[in-house]
Amino acid sequence: MRVLGISAFYHDSAAALVEDGRVAAAAQEERFSRLKHDSGFPSHAVAYCLATAGGPPDAVVFYEKPLRKFERILTTAFATAPSGFRAFATALPSWLRHKLWIPYQIEQALRRGGFDAGGRIFFTTHHEAHAASAFLPSPFARAAILTLDGVGEWTTAALGRGRDGQVELIRELRFPHSLGLLYSAFTYFCGFRVNSGEYKLMGLAPFGTPRFSDLILERLVDLRADGSFRLHLDYFDYLRGTRMTNGRFARLFGGPPRPPEAAITQRECDLARSIQAVTEEIVLRMARTLHRETGEENLCLAGGVALNCVANGRLLREGPFARVWVQPAAGDAGGALGAALAFASRDGTAPPKDGIHDAMRGALLGPAYPDDIIAATLAARGIPAEHLASPAAVAHRVAARVAGGAVVGVLQGRAEFGPRALGSRSILADARRPEMQRVLNQKVKFRESFRPFAPVVLADRAQDYFDLAAPSPYMLFTAPVRQEHRRPAAGPAAAAFPDCIHEIRSDIPAVTHVDYSARVQTVTEADQPFLHAVLAEFDRLTGCPVMINTSFNVRGEPPVGHPREALEGFLRTGMDALAMGSFFVDKTSLGSSALPAAGQPAFAPD
């Protein structure tokens, strides 16, 4: 059986293909359209999945029920009338143009791929899709399931269990009471973009103190012992308007929202730390309730909130479950995969379980490009490149250049599915160099200086550097840097933001955050042979098995997909070298004529 799953029309649209219960392909539309968090119908991603399939799909499954979601929009508009009319009027055109015509759009996309839908279009609910994406590809034969996000149709959080290849949801929290929307409200108030800036808020939190946590729990959130809660909606504007918060919220926290791109103050740092602390407490309480009610020892997580790797790390260290597995595409993109898996599991077709390995294939589910395409891309731009004899030779060259201080872009094999670069569309650099965080942020990524970089480490050496309780192949858990690798702060003990950003805190300063934490990726040879070879050679050369791994993109752009985008990004940023397939390009070998004029965009769509 071939099942095509689709998610669309909110953010991070995607398509996924499941064949006989096996995850075969998955990709986000943004990787083709070059529109970050693209919410449109994923025509390119669907075409990619259909081209990968061995034949026409037996079923196409959409990741939520649009009519039920439209019911929520209408109900909310009537309940908040007349003040809610503005929000309803803003949403209505999109529903009339796109969201009420999803079956037609699916049929059109299939016809463009040479297939006939034939009435085989189905729908699952949003949190059923999240739950299926969490449990069915996990290593566990049975587990508790927790899904958390902004909102699906009505559900904002769901507690459930998985066993015998089936998913059951047993409790839920309903709109408008939502942990995802609460976190997004603070994202908006601190001057970041909702649905894309939440990870910035998480990265800002360690620079602050949780001085507003009690105020949040006293005035904004009525939190119960079991983790359920109600929001005091008088402080929020998302029911009635087009903003997340209102004037009452601003007065509570000492002034208006921070304008985007304005200087970040200590208030924003403290707000970020405070809402992060509240979020972690809610997640821990829900997890304890779920453990008590299901008796399961394993936990699977999905939904946008499950991308909060700080909360995940605390749940792994302090929570009641023996093991925790997080869907690497936990947000809406993963809903496409969950929809396909949920449908396939109805007849008992589900990924096999061995208790150790998951079915995500390292999340390397996107397109790959052979050497002939890479060679043609280089030739079209007149870029000289060295053709190396083997993947091992490429890996050794990358490791040697990184050990020498270079920043190296990598495009190897299939692209990652989900928001994290895992070694296929990555930028690699030396974590030991104190200046490397500044170099990457200012000359390569062009992003905010406070944002930390993630370490990638050989799995069998991870415990030498991090207090990590379990493998972290998808970069979804933070862990403390071990005490023996830490260094005391050189400046004042309580240096304020932003003076403390570039302090040297460990032997791997470029990946050590201000609180001595790191968002760790562990690598095995079985799951990531190329990246493992790079790290092993780097370890041989330097005695250190840790590198920086960050996504191959610049601020405001999705990660690169095609070799053309990788090459243009390399040429237009401060990267020193590029490894694509068997080809290696060193910028020192290029003349000035090969480099684009300053001010051109880094990555341009077709």
Active-site residue numbers? 11
Q: How far apart are CA 403 and CA 485, in angstroms?
A: 19
Residue written as token pair 């279009």: 121
Question: Which residue matches tokens 């050369």?
Answer: 541
The radius of gyration of the chain's CA atoms, rounded to the nearest angstrom, is 23
- SS3 (DSSP) at 573: coil
Residues 6+ apart with CB under 8 A from 365: 16, 23, 24, 25, 26, 27, 414, 415, 416, 417
Token duo for residue 365: 């589910």
Query: In the chain, how long is the greatest CA-to-CA distance?
Result: 69
- Return the closest-CA partner of residue 41 out of 125, 126, 101, 93: 101
Q: Which residues contact 95 (CB under 8 A, 6 or more apart)?
A: 70, 73
In one-letter notation, the amino acid at residue 451 is: R
Q: Beginning with the edge strand found earlier in the chain, give each strand of the sheet holding 59-62 in spatial order.
A: 22-28, 14-19, 2-7, 59-62, 121-123
Q: In this structure, what are the phi and psi dihedrals at residue 578, rounded to the nearest 5 degrees?
A: -140, 130
Beta strands 517-523 and 454-458, pairing class: parallel
**What does the block give as tokens for 92?**
């209505």
CB 373 within 8 A of CB 564: no
Q: What gap in Å lies between CA 505 and CA 574, rounded to an integer?
A: 25
Helix (H), strand (E) at residue 277: helix 266-294
Name the residue with tokens 């150790």: 356
The Cα 324–Cα 314 span in angstroms is 11
Cα 470 to Cα 518: distance, rounded to the nearest angstrom: 14
Amino acid type, 328: P
> Taking a C-beta distance cutoff of 8 angstroms, is the pair 507, 517 a contact?
no
Q: Which two tokens stand for residue 210?
A: 């949780």
